[in-house]
Amino acid sequence: MRVLLARPPRRDSRDAGQSVPPLGLAYIASALRADGVQVELLDAYVLGWSWRRFEQHLAQMRPEVLGLSTMTPVSDIAARAATLARPHVGRIVLGGPHPTAMGEAVFAQMPELDATVEGEGEEPAVALLRWWQGGEVGPPPSGVRVPGLPFTPHTPRQPLESLPWPARDLLPNHAYRYLFATRPGFATIITSRGCPYRCSFCDKSVSGSRWRSRPAIDVVDELQHIERDLGVGFVNIYDDNFTLNRRRVMEISEEILRRGLRLQWKCEGRVDGVDAEMLALMKRAGCTMVAYGVESGNAETLELLRKDITVQQSREAFALTRQAGLRSLAYIILGAPGEGEAEVRQTIRFCQEIGATYVQFSTLSAMPGTPLFSSHGAAADVKNPVDGDLSRPTVTDLPPEALSRLLRSAWTGFYLRPLPIARIAHDAWRSGSLGEAARMGRAMGRWAVQ
């Protein structure tokens, strides 16, 4: 059985965000290959393929199975790919957060689909192909949804360390870039899955609330492979919360130092989960940046978002990060319900007060699969040109025009200053991400003069 796993082309010429590997598809490819399946992994997005070239490839290859994956904000791209592929492929299966959150309703959105895989897909994907090859005897495997047939949720049986590493050899690794990388060559890695916290805007439908981690030795084995076999100099650790288990973070950092790895890395953490000793060791082991979900400088908004952190904890975490010699990235949500212009401006000022190196400003979206989705109704469209000039469905009490104006003030006020401009230019040069830096600069420049 010939299987093509594909990330489709860009939505249009403006859709030129940072080029990170499709790690989920690479995990599926590795699991299928370990089961003897012939797999091709195509990243048409990062290769800059046109939709016409993508269709020509499908028509020439004519795979028996086409596998796609999508999140809700870009589900229209997956739908377009499925429609375009239908005449050229045997079966189409979709995985990822969007079909997991939507359930049976996804087939009304994308009638071309033959099946979806819900939750973590490695085991269900293998079982689905075996079920198809065996003549579809009995109900679909757990974790697999087929239109009109019974569905059984899947609970992963394999520990994370027993999963094959992602099939990075099937990816165009030379093409990936990340603006905040500090060395050439870029890859991503996942060292844990699941998150025990209860943020109201976070979709945990794929990996759930139970945190599961890989042993430190297994993590560093993969990092060593990425550095020595792929020649990668910078890794983004994609865990929802890498710093959740302090002892494991210390073990990973110490093992990196013991082996003499030279790659540098970034991770995600919570402001209530770091301390000076841990951050200092992470720095010595090659960490250059920690990203924190600060979200707001207003206590009432943090309560609405169910962050279970305080404004003061954000201040302390950013001070500790700076003292350790690490850069920081603050994820910020502006205009949540209950916020007026004064509260939004307070959060914008807060980002400079805590000394964040970088900030990512967003608005609040109630995505399927999140607690926020079930408790809030209609959303306004708010444009954010730095996010590719796309409209984002936003839950807010502010008029969309007012929130867009505040977003513009936040981005331009923070970044159009000499130090951030120099820092981004330096990072873009070192990481080979000059194109992404130029795109951001053009977007903010146009925005600033509106």
- pLDDT confidence of residue 389: 43
pLDDT of residue 390: 57
pLDDT at 71: 92
The CATH number of 177-448 is: 3.20.20.70
Reference 409, options 354, 448, 362, 358; nearest CA is 448
Domain ranges of the chain: 2-145, 177-448
Torsion sign, CA atoms 117, 120, 125, 131: negative
Measured N-to-C along each axis, helices 311-323 and 276-284 cross at an angle, to the nearest 10 degrees, of 40
Separation CA 375–CA 372 (nearest Å):
5
Q: Name every residue whose Cβ is closer than 8 Å to that of residue 249 and which is 6 or more positions away in sequence.
A: 242, 243, 278, 281, 282
d(CA 125, CA 115): 10
> What is the reported pLDDT for 424?
82
Distance CA 232, CA 173 (A): 9
- Cβ density class 348-385: b for 16+ within 10 Å, e for less: bebbeebebbbbebbbbbbbbbbbbbeebeebbebbbb
* Residue 384: strand pairing partners: 390
Dig out the tokens for 141 from the structure. 């495997």
- 342 touches 361 (CB < 8 A): no
Nearest to 382 by CA among 394, 373, 372: 394
C-alpha 106/C-alpha 116 separation (Å) is 9
Q: What pLDDT score was predicted for residue 57?
A: 98
**CB 105 within 8 Å of CB 79:** no
Pairwise CA distance, residues 165 & 223, whole Å: 11
Predicted pLDDT of residue 378: 53
Is the Cβ–Cβ distance between 434 and 428 less than 8 Å? yes
Whole-angstrom Cα distance, residue 4 to residue 57? Answer: 10
The CATH T-level fold of domain 2-145 is Rossmann fold (3.40.50)
What is the strand order of the sheet 144-145 is part of? 38-43, 2-7, 65-69, 91-95, 115-117, 144-145
Question: What is the pLDDT tens value at each position of the chain, 450 positions in all?
Answer: 899 999 999 987 555 555 899 999 999 999 999 999 999 999 999 999 999 999 999 999 999 999 999 999 899 999 999 999 999 999 999 999 999 999 999 999 999 999 999 999 999 999 999 999 999 999 999 999 999 999 999 999 889 999 999 999 999 999 998 888 888 899 999 999 999 999 998 888 899 889 999 999 999 999 999 999 999 999 999 999 999 999 999 999 999 999 999 999 999 999 999 999 999 999 999 999 999 999 999 999 999 999 999 999 999 999 999 999 999 999 999 999 999 999 999 999 999 999 999 999 999 988 887 888 766 655 677 877 666 445 678 899 999 999 999 999 999 999 888 888 888 888 778 777 777 777 777 766 766 666
Of 63, 38, 65, 43, which Cα lies nearest the Cα of 53? 43
* Residue whose structure tokens are 């603006």: 179
pLDDT at 15: 56
**Residue 88 CB partners (closer than 8 Å, separation 6+):** 55, 58, 59, 61, 62
CA-angle at 203, arms to 379 and 124, nearest 5°: 130
